[in-house]
């Protein structure tokens, strides 16, 4: 994209024709891509106010759209219950920190959710006791199904598929970036549940993990829920589930727990850059409809170009007919413009011609259009085309 085109484009959304702004020049939509390259009809990303990063002393703040599961307030313990019996948990909040009380059992959130970005910070006991799986062991269970291991592996080897940030029983972490026990460790997790349709796996589900900012799970495919000693097999998960935290007999502490739900994937009907031909056709029809509706609020060339633009997403007799009639009227008007006034029409003529060039280049309208040839003739006669150097 040319830099100079950006500021104009940024303010043109929905109110004026994108073609008219000279911005619709990237490769058009195709069978598996509902949007053009650099398409201003594509929705703007939603605004999220970022949070702050944690230090050892002070927990960070979550982004504006996060759902807080534990932010340091004692009453937030009420968002959690005993996994065993659904009763209030015996885990405690001490110094704004959620702490496992060994022997009291797993906890789970009352809230249920699925695909998410999860942030959680934990700290193993200062006093080092035990080794391998016995030291500072807990675990974060996404949807209650699959464990991202929490374990004090600082100078503490164990079986790799059970080390801190392993997908327990499935995949070891790519690295061990743990801090010393007693210090805060940060997990940032991206979780996608497995998707099955008619008993067949159409997406295995994935987990990505950053530990203290270091990538430890890189889009690791799930094979069921993992587990202890037994190799799990791919299986469907429920639609939603709680977040569980493990009591493995160590007083591990937690703080700053929040998640952001993630949008649907393409395989479950969500939007993506590349989609199935069927989903792409449906999306293109939806975009075209929106543009045609937008055109009804416009007049003159803006309306005409918006109607033409809709043809890039979906052929439509009415839109094509109306826009072609408007184009004919515009060209007649230009041809009847007196020689000393034509210069004042340069902007409009160039704008419409550029759009027509795009539409013919990608075969959305026939390339032998008389109106286009007439406009090109005016441009040539007036010598308006910038000279190529």
- Please, which residue, 138 or 353, has the CB nearer to Mg ion? 138
Site for Mg ion in 256-315 (CB under 5 A): none
Query: Is residue 172 involved in binding Mg ion (CB under 5 A)?
Result: no
For Mg ion, how many residues bind (rule: CB under 5 A)? 4
- Please, which residue, 139 or 225, has the CB nearer to Mg ion? 139
- Please, which residue, 154 or 330, has the CB nearer to Mg ion? 154
Site for Mg ion in 188-227 (CB under 5 A): none
Q: Please enumerate, as own/partner, the contacts of 341-346 that have beta carbons within 8 Å and a separation of 24 or more.
A: 342/378, 342/382, 343/382, 346/382, 346/384
What is the distance between the terminal CA atoms of the chain, rounded to a whole angstrom? 20
Strand 80-82: give its sheet, edge to edge: 80-82, 107-109, 244-245, 138-142, 146-150
Asked if 186 and 211 count as a contact pair (C-beta separation under 8 A), the reply is: yes
Asked if 359 and 381 count as a contact pair (C-beta separation under 8 A), the reply is: no
Q: Interface mask (CB under 5 A) for Mg ion, residues 224-253, using x and -?
A: ----------------------x-x-----
Q: Which residue is nearest to Mg ion (CB)?
A: 139
Minimum distance between the CB of residue 248 and Mg ion, rounded to whole angstroms?
Answer: 5
Minimum distance between the CB of residue 188 and Mg ion, rounded to whole angstroms?
Answer: 18
Q: Interface mask (CB under 5 A) for Mg ion, residues 112-141, using x and -?
A: -------------------------x-x--
Cβ atoms < 10 Å from Cβ of 87: 9
- Please, which residue, 132 or 276, has the CB nearer to Mg ion? 132
CA–CA distance, 118 with 150 (Å, rounded to integer): 14
Minimum distance between the CB of residue 162 and Mg ion, rounded to whole angstroms?
Answer: 8
Asked if 217 and 208 count as a contact pair (C-beta separation under 8 A), the reply is: yes
Sign of the dihedral through C-alpha 200, 202, 205, 206: positive
Q: Which two tokens stand for residue 373?
A: 């040839």
Q: Is 198 exposed, middle or buried (0-12, 13-18, 19+ CB in 10 A)?
A: exposed
- Please, which residue, 248 or 284, has the CB nearer to Mg ion? 248
Per-residue DSSP letter, 89: P
Minimum distance between the CB of residue 59 and Mg ion, rounded to whole angstroms?
Answer: 23
- Please, which residue, 244 or 260, has the CB nearer to Mg ion? 244
Q: Which residues bind Mg ion (CB under 5 A)?
A: 137, 139, 246, 248
């Amino acid at each position: 994209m040319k830099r100079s085109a950006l500021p104009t484009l940024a303010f043109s959304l929905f109110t004026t024709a994108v073609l008219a702004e000279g911005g619709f020049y990237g490769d058009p939509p195709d069978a598996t891509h509902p949007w053009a390259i650099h398409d201003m009809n594509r929705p703007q990303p939603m605004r999220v106010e970022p949070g702050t990063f944690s230090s050892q002393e002070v927990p960070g703040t979550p982004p504006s759209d996060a759902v807080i599961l534990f932010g340091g307030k004692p009453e937030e313990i009420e968002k959690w219950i005993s996994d065993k019996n659904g009763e209030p948990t015996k885990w405690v909040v001490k110094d704004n920190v959620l702490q496992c009380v060994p022997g009291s059992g797993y906890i789970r959130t009352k809230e249920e959710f699925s695909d998410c970005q999860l942030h959680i910070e934990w700290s193993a006991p200062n006093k080092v006791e035990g080794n391998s799986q016995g030291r500072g062991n807990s675990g974060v269970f996404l949807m209650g199904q699959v464990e991202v291991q929490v374990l004090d592996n600082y100078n503490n080897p164990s079986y790799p598929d059970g080390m801190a940030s392993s997908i327990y029983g499935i995949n070891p972490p790519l690295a061990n970036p743990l801090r010393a026990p007693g210090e805060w460790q940060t997990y940032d997790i991206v979780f996608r549940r497995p998707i099955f349709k008619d008993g067949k796996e159409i997406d295995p589900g994935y987990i990505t993990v950053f530990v203290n900012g270091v990538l430890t799970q890189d889009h690791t495919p799930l094979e069921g829920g993992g587990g202890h000693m037994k190799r799990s097999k791919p299986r469907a998960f429920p639609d939603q589930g709680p977040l569980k935290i493990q009591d493995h007999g160590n007083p591990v502490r937690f703080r700053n727990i929040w998640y952001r739900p993630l949008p649907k994937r393409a395989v479950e009907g969500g939007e993506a850059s590349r989609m199935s031909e069927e989903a792409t056709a449906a999306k293109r029809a939806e975009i075209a409809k929106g543009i045609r509706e937008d055109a009804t609020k416009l007049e003159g060339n803006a309306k005409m170009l918006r109607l033409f633009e809709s043809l890039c997403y979906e052929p439509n007799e009415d839109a094509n007919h109306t826009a072609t009639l408007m184009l004919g009227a515009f060209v007649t008007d230009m041809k009847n413009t007196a020689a000393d006034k034509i210069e004042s029409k340069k902007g409009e003529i160039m704008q419409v011609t550029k759009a027509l060039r795009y539409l013919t280049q990608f075969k959305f309208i026939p390339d032998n259009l008389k109106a286009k040839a007439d406009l090109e003739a005016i441009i040539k006669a007036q010598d308006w085309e910038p000279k190529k150097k």
